[in-house]
Amino acid sequence: MILAIDTETTGIDFFHGCRPFLVTMCDGEENYHWWGEVNPYTREVFWQEEDIDAIQSILNQADTLVFHNAQFDMRALETIGINIESLWDKVEDTLLASHIFCSGDSHGLKDLAIKYLHYWNDDEEQLEIAVKSARQRVSKLGYKIAKYGDSQSPGLTKATSWWKQDYWLCPDECLYYALCDVEKTWLLWNAFKPALVQDGFWKVYQLRKQLLEICYSVTSAGLHMDRQAATEYVTNLEAKIKKIRKYLSKQLKIKPLFNWNKREHLLYLLHNHLKIPVLYTTPGGSPSADKKAVADYYAYSNSPLLRTVLIGRRIETERRYVQAYYNWLADDSCLHSNLNITGTRETRQSSSNPNQQNIGKKLTKLFLPPQGYVWWDADFANIELRIWAYAVGNKDLISMFERGESVHMFIMTLLFPSEAAAYKKDHKNQVLANRYRDVKGGTFALIYGATEKKADETYGKAGACQIIFKYFPGIAEYTQSLTNQVFSNFYDLKRPFVYTIGGYPLDVPIDEPFKCCNYYIQGSAGIFMSKAMIAIHNLPIYKTSGSQIVQQVHDSLKVQVPINKYIHDTIERLKEAMSMCATDIFGKTPISYEILYNPKDESLLQDIDILPPF
DNA sequence: TGCCAGCGCGCG
DNA sequence: AAAGCGCGCGCTGGCA
């Protein structure tokens, strides 16, 4: 029996008490549903034991469980006491399948139903109207409707569509909506499955499906944060920000606190107070105060006030990030961010609620392993550049990688010989370091499909591309052949796409075919990372040692490893597994890693002799 | 008050 | 003819 399942919940943050209040299922013949009782004053949900048993029993009996975004609904089910551990092997996900058929489109259930099933109804609109009016009606009754600042969703911002968390106010409309959703999910899977097989995508679907349980476990484990350090950090920054704003207001002689995020305030400072002439305008013609304009005005005026504004802005950005992490923190002092498998239009994952993939370099020190663990923090060395070199097929480029030499350094030598020589001797020289940074940027621009003009600009040298093309023949041909693949697929299969290494199809906008180079590289790297995570997860020692992947940032992985006598062996195996993910293309991929310790951990002192060297 | 677009900025 | 890619999130400011 193929069973489609959906849950409706009181919110998305299951780590702060949000819960499902309705479970719906469809087996193709019949629909089923179970209600939990929402306490309108607390938003807590009460479930009858026999209903949980009934849900568990039907889940256990089904041959196939179909979800649209399995991670979410499995989490919801787990929070009300469903045992999900044995279910993963029979889970299918229409979200994963949809991404294979159309990596660039929306994967919303409603859109998919229209596109593939010609199934349209206005259940969503009806529900929205009902919920919005119900929220107004019950606000006088003292009900705990969802809103900014709620204890069950401390991380969500003002800009959230809060009404979506109050479906429980409208049981009739909600049930109709939820049953439509499971029907759509069931029908979609029955359409997708044969298509996956027929189009030759079954294998790559199976590969990606293994990520479901793995990403779920990453979210469950969470990333441990130093709560106290974070609090102190925010308090400290807040004080600084206040001081700076007061100072600016005083200098400018304005009443309300100066706000560097307000265009008006910035313009007042620039043109009224500092009397700098208007040098930049927006496309609409009004004076501009965007990043580039402000930076140039500072270079032009060298005004200490403007410098203060730039510093204040930077500090405020930092505070905003730390505050958000703090708000999302659960009782276990961990961030349980989602790791979204279909989060990007290539095969990379995205992270959300909060985003763990853009934690500022300065803020990483606020995160550290919990007592009894270390973090193995590993990186693929230059994975994207490596994929590019092999795709171009240039022997010199490839052998440079195989000899472990720095391609960036080589290109710097090619373009700026004397500076490169000097930089090799003196890595601390800031001017030379900036030159190296620009060269690196230029090469990335090049492999991501920039025009020659743009790449030359980034390199900081006219004709840079021509020099590189001449030295490494094959680059232009590679770009051309990949673009040809897009057009020939469009012609033959009516779908413009490129295959990544590993055979995953990625859509390329037909009016922007130059993007295919980027998609191929990012997508192939995404497949390698997927394989690495799967290999690590399947290591026997990973399980027996109690290790757990806690973070993935595209080309890097953090694994939380218990401090015990297996630690050396575990790390050796982790490294081996990760480096083997692309052997079919370029042998072992070099991995660089470091071990991160919690300095306050007492077990470090006892077990210091078994630890890897600092 | 809620919603959306535009922008900036963190990461790869 | 011209084009460097991919994310998530917080804030402002305009609109209903």
Tokens of A6: 């959906």
Q: Report pLDDT for A167.
A: 95
Residue nearest to nucleotide C8 (CA to C1'): A355
Spanning CA of A318 to C1' of C4, the rounded length in angstroms is: 27
Ranges of beta strands (E only) in A416-555 are 497-499, 505-507, 548-552
Q: What is the pLDDT of residues A121-150, one digit of tens each?
A: 888 889 999 999 999 888 888 899 999 988
The mean pLDDT of A577-583, rounded to a whole number, is 92
Q: A450: pLDDT confidence band, cut at 50, 70 and 90? A: confident
298-337 on A, CB < 7 Å from strand B: 313-314, 317, 321
pTM of the model: 0.94
A276 token code pair:
């700098």
Average pLDDT over residues A369-390: 94
Max CA-CA distance within chain A? 78
pLDDT band at A428; cut points 50, 70, 90: confident
Closest nucleotide to residue A457 (Cα to C1')?
C4
Mean pLDDT of A499-518: 93
Which are the contacts of A540, defined by CB distance < 8 A and separation ≥ 6?
A: none
Range with lowest mean pLDDT among A214-223, A323-332, A463-472, A604-613: A604-613
By percentage, how much of chain A surpasses pLDDT 70? 97
Q: Please name the nucleotide lying closest to A266, CA to C1'.
A: C12
Mean pLDDT, rounded, for A78-97:
97
Measured CA to CA, the distance from residue A464 to residue A469 in angstroms comes to 9
Check: CB of residue A227 under 8 Å from CB of residue A329: yes
The gap between A157 CA and C9 C1' (Å) is 9
Provide the CA A247 distance to its chain's centre, in angstroms.
38
pLDDT of residue A347: 96
Residue A176 structure tokens:
């109709």
**How far apart are alpha carbons A382 and A362 in whole angstroms?**
22
CB atoms within 10 A of CB A522: 20
Residue A411: what are its φ and ψ, rounded to 5°? -65, -35
* CATH class label, A338-381+526-607: alpha beta
Looking at the domain A227-328, which fold is it? Taq DNA Polymerase; Chain T, domain 4 (1.20.1060)
Cβ contacts, strand C, under 7 angstroms: A 155, 157-159, 259, 261-264, 320, 324, 340, 343-346, 348, 350-355, 357-358, 441, 444-445, 448-451, 453-454, 458, 511-515, 518-519, 522, 554
Give distance CA A519 / C1' B11 (Å): 18
pLDDT at site A264: 78
Name the CA dihedral angle for A156, A158, A164, A168, rounded to a multiple of 10 degrees. Answer: 80
Task: Answer for A159: CB within 7 Å of strand B.
Answer: yes
Residue A587: the pLDDT is 86
- Report the nearest residue to nucleotide C12, CA vs C1': A262
DSSP A99-160: HHH-TTS---HHHHIIIII-----HHHHHHHHHHHHHHHHGGGT-----TT-TT-TT--TTS
Of A306-310, A412-416, A605-609, the one with minimum mean pLDDT is: A605-609
pLDDT band at A215 (very low <50, low <70, confident <90, very high): very high
Tokens describing residue A91: 């889970």
**Rounded CA–C1' distance between A265 and C13, in angstroms:** 14
The two tokens of residue A64 are: 């196939």
Nearest nt (C1') to A350 (CA)? Answer: C7
pLDDT at position A254 over 80 = no
Q: Residue A456 in contact with residue A467, Cβ under 8 Å?
A: no
Whole-number Å distance between alpha carbons of A595 and A64: 41
Indicate the pLDDT class of residue A605, thresholds 50, 70 and 90. Answer: low
- Looking at domain A384-523, which of 1.10.10, 1.20.120, 3.40.50, 1.10.150 is its CATH number? 1.10.150
Query: The tokens of A36 are what?
Result: 């939990």
Mean pLDDT of A385-403: 90
Does the C-beta of A345 come within 7 A of strand B?
Answer: no
Q: Which residue is nearest to nucleotide B6 (CA to C1')?
A: A290
| Token output for A215 | 């990403």
Protein A339 CA to nucleic acid B11 C1', in Å?
A: 15
pLDDT band at A614 (very low <50, low <70, confident <90, very high): very low
Strands (E), A184-294: 223-224
Give the distance, in angstroms, between the CA of residue A511 and the centroid of all CA atoms in the same chain.
27
- Is any atom of nucleic acid chain B found less than 7 Å from the CB of residue A263? no
Do residues A353 and A494 make contact, with C-beta atoms less than 8 angstroms apart? no
Among protein residues, the one whose C-alpha sits closest to the C1' atom of B8 is A291
Q: Which residue is nearest to nucleotide B9 (CA to C1')?
A: A317
DSSP-assigned beta bridge partners for residue A31: A26
> Which fold is adopted by the domain A2-209?
Nucleotidyltransferase; domain 5 (3.30.420)
Nucleotide B7's nearest residue (CA vs C1') is A290
Residue type at position A70: A
At A262-308, the pLDDT tens digits run: 777 888 888 888 888 877 776 666 677 777 778 878 888 888 888 88
What pLDDT band is residue A612 in, cutting at 50, 70 and 90? low
**DSSP letters spanning A563-586:** SSTTHHHHHHHHHHHHHTTTHHHH
- The residue whose CA lies nearest the C1' of nucleotide C6 is A344
Can you give the distance from the CA of residue A290 to the C1' of nucleotide B7 in angstroms?
A: 8
Q: Strand B closer than 7 Å to the CB of A553?
A: yes
The pLDDT of A569-579, averaged and rounded, is: 96
Alpha-carbon distance of A56 to A87, in angstroms, equals 10
Asked if A391 CB < 7 A from strand B, the reply is no
Q: How distant is C1' of C14 from CA of A338, in Å? A: 33
**What is chain A's mean pLDDT, rounded?**
91
Nucleotides of C under 7 A from a protein CB: 2-13
- Between CA A473 and C1' B4 the distance (Å) reads 48
- Asked whether the predicted pLDDT for residue A171 surpasses 50, the reply is yes
Whether the pLDDT of residue A333 is over 70: the answer is yes
Per domain, the residue ranges of chain A are: 2-209, 227-328, 338-381+526-607, 384-523
Q: Give the mean pLDDT of A32-36.
A: 98
Three-state DSSP class for residue A20? strand
